[in-house]
Chain A
Amino acid sequence: GAVVSQHPSRVICKSGTSVKIECRSLDFQATTMFWYRQFPKQSLMLMATSNEGSKATYEQGVEKDKFLINHASLTLSTLTVTSAHPEDSSFYICSALRFGANYEQYFGPGTRLTVT
C-alpha cells in the first residue's frame, strides 16, 4: 500500500508556456501533500504544502503565482508551472501524508521538467 503516482514522468516545454503536473495517492486518502524540487546531487527542497480544500502554503522564496497548486480532492494535487523559463528546469517530486499515519510521507516517482 501507500502508492503515490505522478504524471507526466518527463515533460519538455518551450519557454513561456505552462505545464501541469499531477500527483495522486492511489490507495489512500491524503489531506496533505507536499511539492518538492530537487537539483542534481542535492537534497529535496520543499516548495509548498498542499491541503485539500484550502490554499497551499508556500515556502519562503517560492513564487505562488508562478507555481500554482490545487488540491481539489483527497487523492489529487496538481502543480502548474506558469510561464516556464529554463531556470525552472528541475526534478519535481510530490509526496502525500497518509491519513491516520503519523506523518509518514510517501513520495511519487518524480517529474523531470525541461524548459527549452
Chain B
Amino acid sequence: EDQVTQSPEALRLQEGESSSLNCSYTVSGLRGLFWYRQDPGKGPEFLFTLYSAGEEKEKERLKATLTKKESFLHITAPKPEDSATYLCAVRFNKFYFGSGTKLNVKP
C-alpha cells in the first residue's frame, strides 16, 4: 500500500496559469511533510517542511499548505523556470516519498 500519493503525475501549464499539486498520505503519527524540487539528472532541492495541520509556508511563487491527510503545493503565476518534478515526502518512522509530479510550464 502506497503511503504517499502525488497527483497529478504530470501537469502542463501556460506561463502565468496558477495551479496546485496534491500530496496525500496514509501514515498516522506524521512527524513532518516535506516538499522538494528535482531537476533532471540532479538531486532533490529542499523547499518546505510542514509539521501540523493548518500550517502554511511560502517561497516566491510557491506556497505549501497542510491538512490532516494531504498537502498542496500552490504555484502562482508560474514561469518556465518552475518546470521540474516536485516530490513530497512524509516522515513517520522513516521517510516515505511520493512518485512526484512533473510540471512543465510553457512560455
* Chain A residues packing against B (C-beta within 8 Å): 2, 4, 6, 34, 42-44, 46, 49, 91, 93, 95, 102-110, 112
Q: What's the Cα separation between A112 and B41 when bound, in Å?
A: 8
CB-defined contacts of B87 to chain A, threshold 8 Å: 43-44
CB-defined contacts of A93 to chain B, threshold 8 Å: 43-44
CB-defined contacts of B31 to chain A, threshold 8 Å: 103
Q: Do A43 and B97 contact each other (CB < 8 Å), given the known contacts A103-B32, A109-B43?
A: yes
CB-defined contacts of B99 to chain A, threshold 8 Å: 42-43
> How many interface contacts (CB-CB < 8 Å) are there between A and B?
50
CB-defined contacts of B34 to chain A, threshold 8 Å: 103-105
Q: Does B91 contact A (CB under 8 A)?
A: yes
Q: What's the Cα separation between A109 and B36 when bound, in Å?
A: 13
CB distance from A53 to the nearest CB of B (A): 20
CB distance from B21 to the nearest CB of A (A): 14
Q: Are B43 and A102 in contact (CB under 8 A)?
A: no
Residue from B41, B46, B51, B95 within 8 A of A2 (CB atoms): B46
Q: A103-B31, A108-B43 are in contact. List 10 more A-B contacts (CB 8 A).
A: A2-B46, A34-B95, A43-B99, A49-B94, A93-B43, A95-B44, A104-B34, A107-B46, A110-B42, A112-B41
